[in-house]
Amino acid sequence: MTPLIQFQQVSKVYGMGNTEVHALWQVDLTISRGEYCAIMGPSGSGKSTAMNVIGCLDRPTSGSYYFDGENVAALDDTALTHIRNRKIGFVFQQFHLLPQLTALENVMLPMVYAGVPAAERRDRATRALQQVGLGDRIVNKPTQLSGGQQQRVAIARAIVNCPLLILADEPTGALDSHTTQEVLTIFEELHQSGITVVMVTHEPEVAKHTQRIVWFRDGQVIEPHLNPKDIGALTAPA
């Protein structure tokens, strides 16, 4: 079985000439189906850039990226949009819920773009909200929800199209320790159900819950297989 995510010498270069920035530099990285892994590293080390490439929001400047066996560089924007819609669920630090829509409508949004019939949409969105423990909050607008609840709505939105991969860039960055725990519990459940979960975090406490840590520095992966239980390694990587 092919790995879900496979980077081969992936580079991402921003700017030109003197101002050229190598956000990623010849990265080789493989993440298999069903893995639960954390991406860590100092600020500016290329974590978000890597997430953008993994999430098919961006293409590498050079090298190849295979997602679910497909060479992403060879696909056009429409195909990438389709992959994001059907195979990837995004969770952001800032939640990014639409304020004019209710929790239910926010969760239905990916299915709207997927062309799912309206009745089925409502059904699946309700179940997704129940799954994250918000079955009683479906008609609330985001402003009527706490930060933790908003992030759970965002997770419901990410899983509603039954994706292969959940990508979360600092999903607990805006949350307190209690709600962080709630979010991590949900991620653990998703992982148990077979979904691949990749999350960026700078908190060892959070990374500890994953199976594997990928450590970035200066646009390169310097530790592709750190064991989260090895906390000492986290504070002083090579």
Partner 1 sequence: MDFTESLQMAVKTLTANKLRSSLTMLGIIIGNASVIAMVGIGEGAQKYINEQLQTLGPNVLFIVPGNRQTRELGGLEIPRTLVVADADAIQAQVPTVVGVAPEFSSRDLIVFRNRSANASVVGTNEQFLTVRSFEMAQGRFLSKLDLDRHSQVAVLGATLAERLFDQTPPIGQSIRIRGASFEIVGIMARKGSNLGLDYDDAVILPITTQASRLVGQRQSPYGIEVAFISVSAESRESMSRAEFQITNLLRLRHNIRDEDDFFIQSQDTLLNIAGTITGALTVMLAAIAGISLLVGGIGIMNIMLVSVRERTQEIGLRKAIGASQQDILAQFLIEAIILSIAGGIVGTGLGISGILVISTLTPFEAGVSMGAIAIAVGVSGGIGLFFGVFPARQAAKLDPIVALRTA
Ligand X SMILES: Nc1ncnc2c1ncn2[C@@H]1O[C@H](COP(=O)(O)OP(=O)(O)O)[C@@H](O)[C@H]1O
Positions in the binding site for partner 1 (CB under 8 A): 52, 55, 57-58, 77-78, 81-82, 84-86, 90, 92, 96, 98-101, 105, 109-110, 112-115, 118, 157, 161
Q: Which residues of 130-150 are buried (b: 16+ CB within 10 A; e: fewer)?
A: ebbebeebbebebeebeebbb
Smallest separation, CB 71 to partner 1 (Å): 20
Asked whether position 8 contacts Mg ion by CB under 5 A, the answer is: no
Contact 171, 199 (CB under 8 A): yes
Size of the site for Mg ion (CB under 5 A): 1
Contact 175, 148 (CB under 8 A): yes
Smallest separation, CB 167 to Mg ion (Å): 13
Q: In the stretch 48-77, what mask flags binding to Mg ion with x, by CB under 5 A?
A: x-----------------------------
CA distance from start to end of the chain: 32
Among 5, 23, 165, 198, binds ligand X (CB under 6 A): 23
DSSP, collapsed to helix, strand or coil, labels residue 186 as: helix
Q: At 111, give phi and psi (nearest 5°).
A: -75, -30
Q: Which residues bind ligand X (CB under 6 A)?
A: 14-15, 21, 23, 41, 43-49
